[in-house]
Structure 1
Amino acid sequence: MWYGQLVIGPPGSGKSTYVAGVTHILKQINRKTVIINLDPFIENDIYEADINISDLIDIEKVFSDMGLGPNGTLIYCMEYLLINIDWLEEKLNTYKDCYLIIDTPGQVELYTHNDALKNIILRLNKLNCRLTSVHIVDSTLCSDGYKYISSLLLSLCSQIHLELPHVNVFSKIDLLKYFKNDLKFPLSYYVEAQNLNQLILYETYKNGSSSEDENLSYNYNKNLNNKTTNTNIENYNKNIYKINLVFLNY
């Protein structure tokens, strides 16, 4: 049996840094870990993957032979991995009883509506892999109310689609000090993700207009946003964020 984390999040949110940091911490307590990289585009020296999708599929060959763009290539790679899931299963069987940390591509369609990654997870479940999805979100998005709410909706879509236990993690928390003047509320407000109508109200009136037509538009958007947040986020009551306290000092 394996336990582990499926690390998801938009491009540039800090997934690879998180993977490297968590791996470093686990090794300090003598926990056997395995890093699985499912992003064929990734090129970094932050960590060395034990299992790498690039060993299964040549991304340059996909580009040249299939004539696909970046997003299409990633979807093709995930679907190719699903077809050849035996390759991943054989690799896993050489790391019995290790803790899994799975780094994924940043293209959100892979974990919001495309089924390839979801079906890969289902196959891993049959191997007794017990995973938790860890959604990494750039904490500087809190400086913009609408971007913050968008990240909540993305997190909720991912949670529902992947059907895994789910944790949201704010990354780059050290950079938030440069945006403190743009935060409308204390950090604890964004961590709890409740009473979002207050944030919508603030953003609506901040961008208000004296034009009657524009005021009608603002009122419509405010009502729509209130219904969206109350129905899809607050009532679901699971989008509570954790602060990422992983520091890389090595």
Structure 2
Amino acid sequence: MSESEAGRGTTALVTGATSGIGRATVLKLREMGLEVLALGRNAAALAELKAECGATPIEADVRDMAAVTAQLGDRPVDILINNAGILSTRARFDEIDPVEIDAMIDINLKAPMHLTRVVLPGMVTRKHGHLIYLGSSGGRAPYPSMGAYGPSKAGLSLFCDNLRCDLLGTGIRVSEIVPGRVQTDLYRTALGAEAAKATLYDGYRAILPENIASLIATVISLPDFVDVSRLEVFPTDQATGGGSIVKFA
């Protein structure tokens, strides 16, 4: 992919890079010839990713911006893919642990905002860049037992809209990818790995991380005067509004 095809971007930073959508995206972007900085907390998984595709590992928690910026150094980031996110619990709001509220707001909303603030000045100076955020259908419609997760993703969505207003005329693109059910480890903490598999995926046709990675690659590859501002993608068998999903007969 030429620089013009990728909005002149050659270096991408992907958060939550060690599993699910993040890992699939790192592999896809490396296939496209981009230099990829893979940010995650799992040192072993980052090492495997480096060996597999040549991505540059950045071992850090997205909430620790000092550690992230120290490892980034003065490397320019042309494409930022804010993928890291958690759904640490599924509980009624009157039963949720306040610690979980903070965790979801910190990782799903505050971390992308702070990381954007780190890389954005360089993009503005260079007059090009692409900011990509992994939202959620849970941030666009109410779902049971998502009283903290949903608002964190809704806030991220509005942040994208505000960024577009602030960055108008800079040449920087802002894209939000909004998936429905994707077969990842997102629910692992809230439900447990086996329960999540049995409840959410067995017998269903969920979107795969590779599908989302392909969409991200397409959004990046469009000419730099074309910005996909928001892209919602659902399994064919899922409808919005309460998360209705059916098993395919």
The verdict on a shared fold, with TM-score over 0.5 as the criterion, is no
Higher helix share: 1
Q: TM-score, normalised by structure 1?
A: 0.42
Q: TM-score, normalised by structure 2?
A: 0.42
Higher-Rg structure is: 1
Larger RCO, structure (CA 8 Å, separation 6 or more): 1
